[in-house]
Amino acid sequence: MTDSKYEPAKIEAKWQALWDKERTFKVEETKKDKIYVLDMFPYPSAQGLHVGHVEGYTATDIYCRYLRMKGIAVLHPMGWDAFGLPAENYAIKTGTHPQKLTWQNIDNYRRQLKSLGFSYDWSREINTADPAYYKWTQWLFLQLYEKGLAYQKTAPVNWCSSCQTVLANEQVINGECERCHNQVEQRQMKQWFFKITEYADELLKDLDKLDWPANIVEMQKNWIGKSTGAEVEFKIKKQKLKIKIFTTRLDTIFGATYLVLAPEHKLIQQLRNKINNWPEVEKYIKESQKRTELERKAEIKEKTGVRLKGLVAINPANQEEMPIFIADYVLTSYGTGAIMAVPAHDERDFEFAKKFGLPIKYVVTPAKVSVSQSKTGVHWLSNQGVFEEDGVLYGCEEFNGLSSSDARHKIAKKLGAKLTTKYRLRDWLISRQRYWGAPIPIIYCETCGIIPVPVKDLPVLLPEDVDFKPTGESPLVKSQSFHQVKCPKCGLPAHRENDTMDTFVDSSWYFLRYCDPQNNQEAFNPKKVASWCPVNFYVGGAEHAVMHLLYARFFTKVLADLGYIKFREPFLKLRNQGLILGEDGQKMSKSRGNVINPDEIVEQYGADTLRLYEMFMGPLEDSKPWNTSSIIGVRRFLEKVWRLATDLITEQQTNNKAEEANLAYWSAYTTKKVTTDIESFNFNTAISILMEFSNVILTTAGAEKVKAIKNLLILLYPFAPHLTSELWEKLGERGYIWQQVWPAWQEESLIKENVKIIVQVNGKVRDTIDCSLGMDQAAVERIAKQSIKVAKFLTGKILKVIYVKDRLINFVVE
Partner RNA sequence: GCCGGGGUGGCGAAAUUGGUACACGCACUAGCUUCAGGAGCUAGCGGGGGCAACCCCAUGGAGGUUCGAAUCCUCUCCCCGGCACCA
257-286 positions binding RNA, by CB under 7 A? 262
Contacting range for RNA; rule: CB under 7 A; set: 25-33, 389-397, 465-473, 627-635: 627-635
Residue 232's closest CA among 208, 206, 250, 255?
A: 250
In sequence order, the β-bridge partners of residue 183 are 176
**Do residues 326 and 260 make contact, with C-beta atoms less than 8 angstroms apart?**
yes
Query: Which 173-192 positions form the footprint of RNA (CB under 7 A)?
Result: 173-174
1, 93, 148, 214: residue in contact with RNA (rule CB under 7 A): 214
Strands (E), 327-427: 338-341, 364-366, 391-393, 418-422
Query: Which 330-389 positions form the footprint of RNA (CB under 7 A)?
Result: 330-331, 334-335, 337, 339, 346, 348
Angle formed at CA 347 by CA 345 and CA 350, multiple of 5 degrees? 80
Contact letters (x/-) for RNA, 147-176, by CB under 7 A?
A: --------------------------xx--
195, 242, 789, 805: residue in contact with RNA (rule CB under 7 A): 789
Q: Site size for RNA, by CB under 7 A?
A: 82
Q: Does 471 bind RNA (CB under 7 A)?
A: no
Query: Which 691-730 positions form the footprint of RNA (CB under 7 A)?
Result: 691-692, 695, 699
Min CB(370)–RNA separation in Å:
11
Q: Does 246 bind RNA (CB under 7 A)?
A: yes
Q: Does 678 bind RNA (CB under 7 A)?
A: no
446, 473, 622, 679: residue in contact with RNA (rule CB under 7 A): 622
Q: Does 222 bind RNA (CB under 7 A)?
A: yes
In sequence order, the β-bridge partners of residue 153 are 191
Min CB(679)–RNA separation in Å:
13
**Do residues 571 and 220 make contact, with C-beta atoms less than 8 angstroms apart?**
no
Min CB(142)–RNA separation in Å:
31
177 or 545: CB nearest RNA = 545
Distance CA 57, CA 782 (A): 56
Distance CA 441, CA 438 (A): 9
Q: Does 629 bind RNA (CB under 7 A)?
A: yes
Q: Does 248 bind RNA (CB under 7 A)?
A: yes
Query: Which 299-338 positions form the footprint of RNA (CB under 7 A)?
Result: 301, 303, 328-331, 334-335, 337
Query: Which 527-546 positions form the footprint of RNA (CB under 7 A)?
Result: 542, 545-546
Handedness of CA 367, 368, 374, 376 (dihedral sign): negative
Query: Which 750-779 positions form the footprint of RNA (CB under 7 A)?
Result: 756, 758, 760, 762-766, 768
Min CB(812)–RNA separation in Å:
5
> Within 649-682, where are the H helices?
657-679
User: Widest CA span of the chain, in angstroms?
Assistant: 107
94 or 680: CB nearest RNA = 680
Distance CA 57, CA 540 (A): 8
133 or 193: CB nearest RNA = 193
**Do residues 326 and 306 make contact, with C-beta atoms less than 8 angstroms apart?**
yes
Contact letters (x/-) for RNA, 572-611, by CB under 7 A?
A: ---------------x----------------x-------
Min CB(389)–RNA separation in Å:
10
Distance CA 414, CA 420 (A): 16
What is the DSSP-derived secondary structure letter of residue 461?
A: P
Residue 433's closest CA among 88, 125, 73, 754?
A: 88
**Do residues 621 and 650 make contact, with C-beta atoms less than 8 angstroms apart?**
no
Angle formed at CA 390 by CA 387 and CA 230, multiple of 5 degrees? 90
Q: Does 202 bind RNA (CB under 7 A)?
A: no
90, 616, 642, 681: residue in contact with RNA (rule CB under 7 A): 616
Contacting range for RNA; rule: CB under 7 A; set: 81-89, 378-386, 526-534, 617-625: 617-625
Q: CA 573 from chain center: how many Å?
A: 11
Query: Which 94-113 positions form the footprint of RNA (CB under 7 A)?
Result: none
Query: Which 634-673 positions form the footprint of RNA (CB under 7 A)?
Result: 634, 636-637, 639-640
Min CB(408)–RNA separation in Å:
11
Contacting range for RNA; rule: CB under 7 A; set: 236-244, 438-446, 710-718, 801-809: 801-809
In sequence order, the β-bridge partners of residue 619 are none
Q: Does 7 bind RNA (CB under 7 A)?
A: no
Question: Over 669-708, what HEC string results?
Answer: HHHHHHHHHHHCCCHHHHHHHHHHHHHHHHCCCCCHHHHH
Contacting range for RNA; rule: CB under 7 A; set: 406-414, 648-656, 663-671, 689-697: 689-697
> What residue type is assigned to position 337 of the chain?
G
- Helices 607-616, 51-69: crossing angle, 10 deg rounding: 100
> Within 70-97, where are the H helices?
85-94
Distance CA 363, CA 393 (A): 6
Contacting range for RNA; rule: CB under 7 A; set: 17-25, 42-50, 480-488, 800-808: 800-808
Length of the chain: 814
Q: Does 625 bind RNA (CB under 7 A)?
A: yes
Residue 565: helix, strand or coil by DSSP? Answer: coil
Min CB(735)–RNA separation in Å:
30
> What residue type is assigned to position 451 of the chain?
I
